[in-house]
Amino acid sequence: MTKLIRLLTGALAFALTVSVFAESVSFAAPVTETMRVAGIKAPAEILVDRWGVPHIYAKSEADVFFLQGFNAARDRLFQIDLWRRRGLGQLSEVFGKAFVEQDKAARLFLYRAAWTVSGRLTVRAAQQKRRA
């Protein structure tokens, strides 16, 4: 009997959460924003529907892909930065002492040999450093 009560309570909580979320999304006012973005060749637009799904309209395929990247960066910059910090072991810099142990573990497994873009260490330089 207690399993049934727990199941019904969980189902009710889930239904309530979904209905509240659906109401907040459906009544959200559309945001109109005009931006000048360097990198596209012709005017284009990103329309976000009431469910938060972006629709990209542009005259060229290159502009569509550029705007898709722009939209992802605009909407998910926090997440991208969080993933970067997690991989580099820098979460405690932002979130405090609770993440020090996680940062230590991430730094133990940090792969440093292919950082050619940042110029820190290349595979060849790492091999030469080991030989010396």
**Same domain membership, residue 55 and residue 17:** no
What tens digit of pLDDT does each residue of 77-107 get? Answer: 888 899 889 988 999 999 999 999 999 988 8
What is the residue range of 81's domain? 30-131
Q: Same domain, yes or no, for 35 and 78?
A: yes
DSSP 110: -
**How many separate domains does the chain show?**
2
Is the same domain home to 101 and 113? yes
- For residues 81 and 99, state if they share a domain: yes
Is residue 16 domain-shared with residue 47, that is, in the same domain?
no
Sign of the alpha-carbon torsion through 83, 84, 85, 87: positive
pLDDT at residue 108, as a whole number = 87
For residues 62 and 94, membership in a common domain is answered with: yes
| pLDDT at residue number 90 | 92
pTM over 0.85: no
The DSSP-derived string for 24-93 is: HHHTPPPP------TT-SS--EEEE-TTS-EEEE-SSHHHHHHHHHHHHHHHHHHHHHHHHHHHHT-HHH
What secondary structure letter does DSSP report for 113? T
